Amino acid sequence: VDGGTVSSASQLTQLCKGDGDADFIQINVSGNSGVGFFGIVRQSDLGVVATNSTGLFNIENLPAGQYFAGHVSVEDAAQLTGITNVNQLSGCFDLSNQLAVTSIQLAGGTITTSATTICTGSITTTVVGNQGPQSRFALLNQTATTVLASNTTGTFNFTSLPAGVYRIAHIAYTGNVNLGAITPPTLPPCVAASNLVTVTKGNCASAVLESSPNPTAGTSYVTFTVPTEEYTTLEVYDMSGRKVTELFNQVTQKDVEYRLEFNGAGLPNGVYIYRLTTASEVIIDKFMIAK
């Protein structure tokens, strides 16, 4: 018998598990004689992990690690029954040369951010459960089709970015990968991405709330402006936290000044609060009724 000589035109090293792509390798043999089988064995202990008569193997089905691929020839196929390690072979057999096969596990992991809304400054991203020889965090546009920035720290400065919605992901990869072309969840081979976290950058301008006269004998006027079009309420509370009335409840127009009248003549003397609530902030203004 003769194990022959094996060769392969397939990529045999840096095969990437966990990226969603099957990793098939084709092993070919020449010069063999006898009853022959192809096999994949672990490099560490020569344990047999896969055998067949075709030489076609999907490494995605095997744990990440280092392997040898080869061909064995025997006199009788029964010699291979129950064989789980190359060292168990006996009788008349012959092994081919060995091809080194290496697979790696990729996982983008799970990320969280220090904040999901911001108007200026930086947000820090952390990741757990990631695997891969190379990895970076990526800041993407809202549709996750363009990488705006990437780094290994997970910290991104939003100060110079326009207001809007952004995505952050963690990318695990190997080899020469153009991160600028990464568009989760559509990924090239040997790239795995984490979940996408949404970060909204708002306008740093703040709403303005004022009232007069203060103190008042009863009637006062409150004015406010909101820098964006958003749902807004204006309410009056006493110092015990009881809501006295609601003066405004609708979507504001951008930078339009609203002026409302409040008649507190029927209320006891004391300190009260105008409370302006928008989608992004809460502003209060205290005023006093003194009759």
Per-residue pLDDT reduced to its tens digit, 154-209:
999 999 999 899 999 999 998 888 888 888 878 888 899 999 999 999 878 889 99
pLDDT in tens, 109-126: 999 999 998 888 999 999
Say which residues have a Cβ less than 8 Å from residue 62's Cβ, sequence separation at least 6.
Answer: 40, 49, 50, 103
End-to-end Cα spacing for the chain = 113
Of 28-42, 70-84, 177-191, 217-231, which gets the smallest average pLDDT? 177-191
Beta bridge partners of 288: 271
Distance, in Å, from the CA atom of 247 to the CA atom of 245, rounded to the nearest integer, reads 6
* Residue 152: half-sphere exposure toward Cβ, Cα within 13 Å: 4
Contact status, residue 264 vs residue 219, Cβ threshold 8 Å = yes
- The DSSP secondary structure of 117-180, one letter per residue, reads EESSSEEEEEEES-B-SEEEEEEE-TTS-SEEEEESS-EEE-TTSPSEEEEEEEEEE-SS--GG
Which two structure tokens, joined as six digits, stand for 180? 């600028």
Mean pLDDT of the chain: 93
Distance, in Å, from the CA atom of 101 to the CA atom of 59, rounded to the nearest integer, reads 9
The answer on pLDDT for 21 being more than 90 is no
Q: Nearest to residue 19, comparing CAs of 148, 175, 153, 147?
A: 175
Q: Is 54 left (phi over 0), alpha (psi -120 to 50) or beta?
A: alpha
Burial of 186 (0-12, 13-18, 19+ CB in 10 A): exposed
pLDDT confidence of residue 99: 98
**Cα pseudo-dihedral 98, 190, 9, 12, rounded to 10:** 0
pLDDT in tens, 124-151: 999 999 999 999 999 999 999 999 999 9
Answer yes or no: pTM beyond 0.75: no
Distance, in Å, from the CA atom of 73 to the CA atom of 52, rounded to the nearest integer, reads 12
Contact status, residue 259 vs residue 248, Cβ threshold 8 Å = no
Give the amino acid at 15. L
Residues listed for the chain: 291
The answer on pLDDT for 280 being more than 80 is no
- Give percent helix, percent strand, percent coil of the chain, each to the nearest 5: 5, 55, 45
